[in-house]
Structure 1
Amino acid sequence: MSLKGIIFDVDGTLAETEKEGHLPACNEAFEQCGFPIRWSWEEFQKLLAIPGNYLRIRHALQSVFPQWDTERLDEEARRVATVKRELYINKYVPRLSLRPGVARLIEQAVSRRMYLGIVSTSDEAQIWALLRARLPQWASFFCPVLGKESGMKGALDSPLYRRCLELFKLSPDEVLALEDSPQGLEAARNAGIRCAIVYNDYTFGSGFPGAVLVVGTLEPLTIDLLERLCFPEAALKHRD
């Protein structure tokens, strides 16, 4: 079988974390910290171009308090981000739902002894909280889990994707990345990895040049179908 490993993005790919988790956690953190900032979903979608909630929070504080120096801005952004992280993990993650088809696909991959990994811009504690809450029987099969503490996902040489390949001990031609955004697609392709896009309501309509597959849901897909669609040369080899 040519497809031996799958690397998942988290936010918007494994679950609808942005709208149902990160946004309300950010708003509640602003309130708890005494700041008059409350994002609508429409405003938050525009902020998704900024990588990571700490930087989004910092951007918002800078807009409201332009008189603050860098030290004050960093300190307050860290304070809000810390509160937000605890709220997200303890209050909002238990409420999140996986995107349709995710659990079945992971179950099939585990049964076939495939490698599973995660490459994300999210905090690794938040990723593990989601895995343990929503995929408890399979969470331990994800190795590695590489989040923002491990480096920049969007760096030009895609170090997180390349590190994942090294730990898998697989070549790029044996691995598929599942992403939801043009930025994630670019990161995977920069490491030579084929990428299937599972778009959502805020990435729908984006350009996905170079994706081997673009779908709105994983629900109808199986590992066999993913291999046939994304690794057609393997399907031809099997037929021969």
Structure 2
Amino acid sequence: MTTVRWDGLIWDVDGTIALTEREGHLPACNAAFAAMDLPIRWSWEEFQGLLGVPGNELRMKRALEALDHPPDHPEEVAGQLARLKKKLYLERFLSCTSLRPGIRDLIREARERGLRQAIVTTSDEEQIHALLSLHLPEEKGWFSPVFGKRAGRKTAPDSPLYRRCLAEWGCAGNRVLAIEDSEVGLRAACEAGIPTVVTYNDYTSGHDFRGASWVTSSLARVSLDRLAQEVPEA
């Protein structure tokens, strides 16, 4: 076992810690459309194409505006849809999501070896804590800070949530490692000067991951020592 050169790990949630899009967020969106009698049903392929649009509320607003007979106030309806979708996700579809292989082991190893761990994500805080309670009940208290949607904006160009996490820890970017699953998340971490491992999934496969320190389809059986071998020193 070698000395780990990072002081902490910063985790994304949806798609990184757990697979949530196909079995969780997509059916929750479609259930919300159906509950409000709207003629919109997203296929998996359509949903994949929406990844570049930040947040389901904006995606829903654009879908409403594209209808042959859009509502008079699409922003208001999109807000109602987003709130209903969140409720349905938490009550009906979160239990259908799954923890990605290797994640629990890596989180536990980081804890045992004295690394800090944080969460920086675009997800809603209530959804973050519900997911952690479901999939990582013993480990959920190990993450600090936990920054989600209400904490501010994560994305590039200035990546404020990543920078805020570094400030709270008192760390330079090259002293931590971010773990992401998407091009958008990768850009946010890189803009904050943080080396980033990308563990892609079937939602983000094919993205442009140039600039990542290491790209892999899975963290199963990946230890901190393996990460140290794969990630070039900054």
Once the two structures are overlaid, the 10-residue window that deviates more, 177-186 or 60-69, is 60-69
Instruction: Specify the alignment match of 1:236 in structure 2.
Output: none
Counterpart-to-counterpart distance in 2, 1:220 and 1:107: 13
Instruction: Specify the alignment match of 1:41 in structure 2.
Output: 44
- SS of the aligned residue for 1:116 comes to strand
Return the structure number with greater helix share: 1
Does the 8 A contact of 1:2 with 1:231 survive in 2?
A: no
Instruction: Specify the alignment match of 1:121 in structure 2.
Output: 122
Instruction: Specify the alignment match of 1:237 in structure 2.
Output: none
1:81-125 superposed Cα distances (whole Å, 9 cap, x missing partner): 111101111221122111111111111111122111111111111
User: Residue type of the partner of 2:230?
Assistant: L
- SS of the aligned residue for 2:66 comes to helix
In structure 2, the gaps of 5 or more residues are none
1:2-29 superposed Cα distances (whole Å, 9 cap, x missing partner): 1121111111111111111000000111
Instruction: Specify the alignment match of 2:113 in structure 1.
Output: 112
Give yes or no for the alignment of 1:80 onto 2:84.
no
Does the 8 A contact of 1:176 with 1:193 survive in 2?
A: yes
Partner residue of 2:58 out of 44, 48, 55:
55
Does the 8 A contact of 2:30 with 2:42 survive in 1?
A: yes
Give yes or no for the alignment of 1:14 onto 2:21.
no
Instruction: Specify the alignment match of 1:29 in structure 2.
Output: 32
In structure 1, the gaps of 5 or more residues are 234-240
Instruction: Specify the alignment match of 2:94 in structure 1.
Output: 93
Counterparts in 2 of 1:146 and 1:100: CA distance versus 1, 3 Å = same
Does the 8 A contact of 1:3 with 1:231 survive in 2?
A: no
Instruction: Specify the alignment match of 1:4 in structure 2.
Output: 7
Does the 8 A contact of 2:120 with 2:154 survive in 1?
A: yes
User: Residue type of the partner of 2:29?
Assistant: C
Report the alpha carbon displacement of residue 232 of structure 1 after superposing the two structures with TM.
4.2
TM-score (norm 2): 0.94
Q: CA RMSD in A?
A: 1.5
Give yes or no for the alignment of 1:169 onto 2:170.
yes
User: Residue type of the partner of 1:163?
Assistant: R
Identity of aligned residues (%): 48
User: Residue type of the partner of 2:48?
Assistant: Q
Does the 8 A contact of 1:2 with 1:173 survive in 2?
A: no
Counterpart-to-counterpart distance in 2, 1:94 and 1:202: 19
TM-score (norm 1): 0.91
